[in-house]
Structure 1
Amino acid sequence: MNIHRSFSVIALLGALPFYTQAVQLLGQAQVIEPINVVAEVSGVLDQVEGDVGEAVSKGMKLAAIQTFDYELAVRQQMANLELAKSDLTIKQSLYERYRALKRKNSLSQNELDVAKADFDASKASLDLANLNLDEAKRNLNETQVQSEIRGIITQRKVNKGAWVERGELLYQIVNIDQINVRFFASQYDLQSLSVGMPITLWTERAVNQKINAQITRIGVQPDENTQTYPVFVTIKNTAHVYKPGMTVYGSTERLESSELFKKPE
């Protein structure tokens, strides 16, 4: 056996890069976090805008609940506030007069204590009236339903004229400028996968438009139905090429420098 020739072959192999075995994955595009738009107050929907598939901007008006009852509540609380202010003025004046009389020993301590308690109660009533007015104004503002994000409507649950309760779902909106792709990996695939590993993605509708990304996270518990492990990749999607629910393919082939074959010194 020619030892010198063997070392030459090993050295040549060591200078060449090698490829790890590619892992082919199948997955699905998912929204990162859908936004549920709910009614903050109860009432009849006076206006409903937008439909499934339509784009909305942040702050855009989506719906309006009839305001009559809430406007009336604001006026009532404003009147209550004025009454509370007037009552406080009277109770404060009486308390101050009683204090002056007490200093002249023309009033009992008990009468002064009663006046002080009435004055304190009147101040508390004024604070409560302010809180009630703030709540009434807030409820009136909540009759106008707006989008919290820029995105696309994926669900619309109501129509004009419907009665809605507080907390009832009206719309669901998603932003797909950035999305997650959830791949399904077998226990054998996991041996060749790691967080941060490069991965190439593409779809059936755009096979030639491949995206280079990295594995974001890997689940440690298999899905109960498929017995596969979730592998997540987060990608930018400003052109909206990837839609939620779309099938996505992935390949994790990597090029590495071989350190296996080195000529002994």
Structure 2
Amino acid sequence: MKDTREGGIPAEEGKPAAHQTQTDPPIVLDSNGKIGRGPILVVAAVLLVIGVFIITGIRTRVHAEETLTKNTAQNAVMTVAITNPSQGANALEITLPANTQAYIDTPIYARTSGYIKRWYTDIGKHVHRGDVLAEIQTPELDQQVQQAQSDLATAKANLQIAQITAERWKKLLAKNAVSHQEADQATSDYSARQSALSSAEANLRRLEQLQGFEKVTAPFDGVITARNIDIGSLIQAGDNNSPKSELFHISSTDKLRLFVPVPEVYANSVHTGDRIVVTSDAAPNQKFIGSIVRNSNAIDISSRTLNVEVDVPNQDHRLLPGQYAFVHLPIPPSASSLTVPANVLLFRAEGLRVGVVHDGRVQLVPVQIGHDYGDKVEVISGLTPQDKVILNPSDSLAEGERVRIEKGDGE
């Protein structure tokens, strides 16, 4: 018999009912009418996948939190670059201004009074020792010489008569014709006449020497730097040495003297005989070699400097007296000192400090500074060559602070 459903439409065997779709999964029942193992496994697999995703998410989240905590702790530690002090300080050269003077600088004065008869040289001319610079006409001196010559002749005549008288009285005394008193007077008169003759001779020599000064000559080789006379000028001999009575001014420029005020802190670096470099703005790109010849061996109490003389050969006269020059004084390095970059210094209220890394922590070490070389400074005490000194330290750097050394710097 064929089974019919409500509606009069028979259902064919082996075909699904009209209300079922082909996509619906079949429900498998076992012999007892229960659901089979296949669906249960599917559900378990789905639950397992969901659990794995949940566990993986939790572990990822925990790992991220641990990484963040670790990175935060690491970032809280300051990273610093370090350097090691250099053994031995660099040689230092200081530049000091100097006053340039001629090796010999002398004003020429008249030793006799008169009028300028003629002059032979002018400013800028190089003269040699003994060259005649000018002639002075001295009529009064000439008359004095003639008078001295007459006085000398009179003294000689008086001496001659005194000598004859003294000898005559000696002979009479031998015959007891005169007294001893009269003979002694004649002898004494003879001695006085001898002294008068010597005085007259000395006076004549003095006037003749003054006549020799009628020709003004150069006392040494040099250059005339000033001429203050002209023909007919009245010249008064005197010892006041005022600029108005100066005839010429002569300077020896084959060698120059440079007087340098050396600061007290560098006084011990000055050694007599050391060669030294001299420069001048008037002669750019030129170096002159001089030598330290002497110093005052005393510190000027007003300027706290040591006066040092440097002599510079100047045969080619490239340097001029009075010219502004600079002396380059070398300061020898100290083998016992260290040098560090200037950017390692910390200026604190308690004094100058340097940050040193020791076992991962900061130590603020007090140091004593010597010479300043610009980008570097000399450290006299406080550091060793093995110290790890922090470069560009932060102003907030504190004692005992933990730091991390930047790789590749000082390692």
TM-score, with normalisation over the residues of structure 1? 0.80
Match of 1:138 among 194, 202, 209: 209
Distance 1:198 1:254, change over 3 A: farther
Distance 1:96 1:187, change over 3 A: closer
Percent of residue pairs bearing the same amino acid type: 25
Instruction: Identify the residue that residue 232 of structure 1 maps to in structure 2.
Output: 309
Q: SS of the counterpart of 1:176? A: strand
Give the alignment's Cα RMSD to 1 decimal. 3.0
Q: How many residues align?
A: 249
| Contact 2:114/2:139 (<8 A) preserved | no
Match of 1:214 among 267, 270, 291: 291
Structure 2: stretches of 5+ with no match in the other structure: 1-83, 239-244, 339-411
- Aligned counterparts of 1:88 and 1:68: Cα–Cα separation in 2: 31
Distance 1:18 1:142, change over 3 A: same
Match of 1:66 among 131, 134, 137: 137
Aligned letter for 2:95? Q
Aligned letter for 1:165? Q
Distance 1:68 1:191, change over 3 A: closer
Instruction: Identify the residue that residue 258 of structure 2 maps to in structure 1.
Output: 181
Q: SS of the counterpart of 1:25? A: strand
- Aligned counterparts of 2:122 and 2:304: Cα–Cα separation in 1: 37
- Aligned counterparts of 1:98 and 1:231: Cα–Cα separation in 2: 73
Distance 1:108 1:62, change over 3 A: same
Shift of 1:232: 2.8
Instruction: Identify the residue that residue 116 of structure 2 maps to in structure 1.
Output: 45
1:161-172 to structure 2, matched below 5 A, reads 161-167=232-238, 168-172=245-249
Aligned letter for 2:134? A
| Contact 1:223/1:229 (<8 A) preserved | no
| Contact 1:46/1:160 (<8 A) preserved | yes
Shift of 1:227: 6.8
1:90-169 to structure 2, matched below 5 A, reads 90-167=161-238, 168-169=245-246
Shift of 1:147: 0.7
Shift of 1:62: 1.2
Distance 1:206 1:79, change over 3 A: same
Shift of 1:179: 0.7
| Contact 1:29/1:245 (<8 A) preserved | yes
Aligned letter for 2:193? S
- Aligned counterparts of 1:61 and 1:185: Cα–Cα separation in 2: 42
Shift of 1:146: 0.6
| Contact 1:195/1:214 (<8 A) preserved | no
Shift of 1:213: 3.1
Higher relative contact order (CA 8 A, sep 6+): 1
Match of 2:270 among 190, 194, 199: 194
Q: SS of the counterpart of 1:177? A: strand
Q: SS of the counterpart of 1:34? A: strand
Instruction: Identify the residue that residue 251 of structure 1 maps to in structure 2.
Output: 328
- Aligned counterparts of 2:333 and 2:262: Cα–Cα separation in 1: 22
Distance 1:259 1:163, change over 3 A: same
Q: SS of the counterpart of 1:51? A: coil
TM-score, with normalisation over the residues of structure 2? 0.54
- Aligned counterparts of 2:134 and 2:124: Cα–Cα separation in 1: 16
| Contact 2:264/2:299 (<8 A) preserved | no
| Contact 2:94/2:331 (<8 A) preserved | no
